[in-house]
Amino acid sequence: MKRLQDIGPLKVKMSGCINSCGHHHAGHIGILGVDRKGEESYQLLLGGSGAEDASKAAILGPGFDEHAIVDALEKVVAVYLGEREEGEEFLATYRRVGAQVFKEAVYDVA
């Protein structure tokens, strides 16, 4: 519970439908499950909002298998916790620091 309280409001939306049935484009973190030649793959999207400050989440990079997506989400949250300013929620941090900081952490590139 402490970790959830520390993270604060975070909208994670997941869909298995390319038509956005799960609204993965409207999540602070979105996950789109797709079938790639018979293999499950999960695209990670960041920066969406369905609120008054509406924005469409963008794909961060190549997809992940079912195990790697969990690690990718952990890395996204770790970047957020490390980069946020006092009282800043995920979306504000993402918009302030940009996608590249998250991409470098998730894909282990500099």
Mean per-residue pLDDT of the chain: 93
Whether residue 89 is predicted with pLDDT greater than 90 in this model: the reply is yes
Whether residue 64 is predicted with pLDDT greater than 80 in this model: the reply is yes
pLDDT interval class at 17 (50, 70, 90): confident
Residue 56 lies in domain: 2-106
Cα dihedral sign, 87-99-7-16: positive
Could you tell me the CATH number of the domain that includes residue 83?
3.30.413.10
- Model pLDDT for residues 65-82, shown as the tens digit of each residue: 999 999 999 999 999 999
Residue 17 identity (one-letter amino acid): C
CA angle, residues 93, 5, 60, in degrees to nearest 5: 35
Whether residue 20 is predicted with pLDDT greater than 80 in this model: the reply is no
Number of domains in the chain: 1
